[in-house]
């Protein structure tokens, strides 16, 4: 498998989705507040990285691929920081600015290398009609040179019926596989995609299943209802792949240590989509996504994986 990793280089993956800025406040904790039973964090530094769909695009580029990022940001400091990060990391983008909409931010307070709190700033309202028209125009332009298309949906208002329909029409016409990492409330928009990648909680919600149903039942139900392949991520238990032809493959986790799962799902999607763009079989592509996730959960914060790190993880596993 290691030799095939080189084939990821130069493949083109379009990523459309909810873009956010992941901010971190890093500090030390030595006492409890006298005002309330909460830790007092002595802030030492702050940092920020692209999150959400932007993290997926970042991982694609760090793995050697090319990515065009389509999404919406606000006319604010967070939006400026995202554009600066994208430029620094050579990530092509087709961003649309919606002036009255804040750029989504997740601010994590880290004390002694542990996440203590998260503060979110966002709007979940649907994008405006003018913004929707602009995004659709950019989808049609971006798919002219595209080997795979990723939908990174966090239910922040970007993914509309018209946008989803445009993605399916353009990709079907051009024979481009669609990989969807989305929220349960938008599941109808993922129908007829090539692959969806929910975690266990999302999969059960999509299938409207209770805890008594087996994961096998849930996966097969989703594959049938949505007419697509389904990759369910199971955290420390790895992944399980349900193919449309009803084949089921369990993929054990490759994580050696787990420090932080922030952004791990984005990495799975990025590595899997890039592998599919390179023409790899679905099972092999999902296994590569699993190796990639095993690397990033061993890092702290939202982060990316390089092609060299991926090759080492596969080689260390004897593959």
Q: Which residues are catalytic?
A: 266
Spatial strand order in the sheet of 39-52: 39-52, 19-32, 104-111, 114-121
List b or e across 258-280, with b for residues whose CB sees 16 or more CB atoms inside 10 angstroms. Answer: eebebbbbbbbbbbbbbbbbbeb
d(CA 207, CA 124): 23
The answer to whether residues 154 and 183 touch, using CB atoms and an 8 Å cutoff, is: yes
Question: Which of the 8 DSSP states describes residue 228?
Answer: S
List b or e across 223-233, with b for residues whose CB sees 16 or more CB atoms inside 10 angstroms. Answer: beebebbbbbb
- DSSP strand E in the chain: where? 12-17, 19-32, 39-52, 66-73, 92-97, 104-111, 114-121, 148-152, 178-181, 195-196, 229-233, 239-242, 248-251
Distance linking the first and last C-alpha atoms of the chain: 6
Count of helix runs (H) and strand runs (E) in the chain: 9, 13
d(CA 74, CA 314): 40
Host H or E run for residue 176: none
Q: Which residues pair with 119 in a beta bridge?
A: 107
């Amino acid at each position: 498998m290691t030799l095939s990793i080189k084939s990821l280089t130069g493949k083109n993956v379009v990523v459309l989705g909810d873009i956010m800025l992941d901010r971190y406040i890093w500090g030390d904790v030595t006492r409890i507040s006298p005002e309330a039973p909460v830790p007092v964090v002595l802030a030492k530094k702050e940092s920020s990285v692209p999150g959400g769909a932007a993290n997926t695009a970042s991982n694609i580029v760090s793995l050697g691929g090319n990515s065009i990022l389509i999404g919406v940001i606000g006319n604010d400091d967070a939006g400026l920081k995202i554009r600066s990060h994208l430029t620094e990391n050579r990530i092509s983008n087709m961003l649309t600015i919606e002036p009255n909409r804040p750029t989504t931010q997740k601010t994590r307070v880290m004390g002694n290398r542990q996440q203590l709190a998260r503060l979110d700033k966002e709007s979940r309202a649907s994008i405006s009609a003018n913004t929707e028209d602009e995004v659709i125009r950019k989808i049609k332009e971006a798919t002219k040179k595209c080997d795979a298309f990723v939908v990174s949906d966090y239910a922040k208002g970007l993914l509309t019926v018209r946008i989803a329909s445009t993605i399916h029409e353009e990709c079907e016409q051009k024979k481009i596989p669609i990989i969807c990492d989305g929220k349960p409330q938008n599941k109808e928009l993922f129908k007829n995609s090539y692959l969806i990648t929910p975690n266990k909680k999302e999969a059960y919600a999509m299938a409207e299943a209770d805890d008594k149903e087996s994961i096998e039942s849930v996966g097969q139900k989703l594959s049938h209802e949505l007419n697509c392949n389904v990759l369910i991520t199971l955290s420390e238990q790895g992944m399980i792949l349900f193919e449309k032809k009803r084949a089921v493959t369990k993929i054990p986790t490759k994580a050696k240590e787990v420090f932080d799962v922030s952004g791990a799902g984005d990495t799975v999607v990025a590595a899997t989509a890039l592998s599919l763009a390179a023409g790899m079989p679905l099972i092999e592509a999902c296994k590569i996504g699993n190796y990639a996730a095993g690397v990033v959960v061993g890092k702290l914060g939202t982060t990316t994986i390089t092609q060299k790190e991926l090759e080492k993880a596969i080689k260390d596993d004897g593959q």
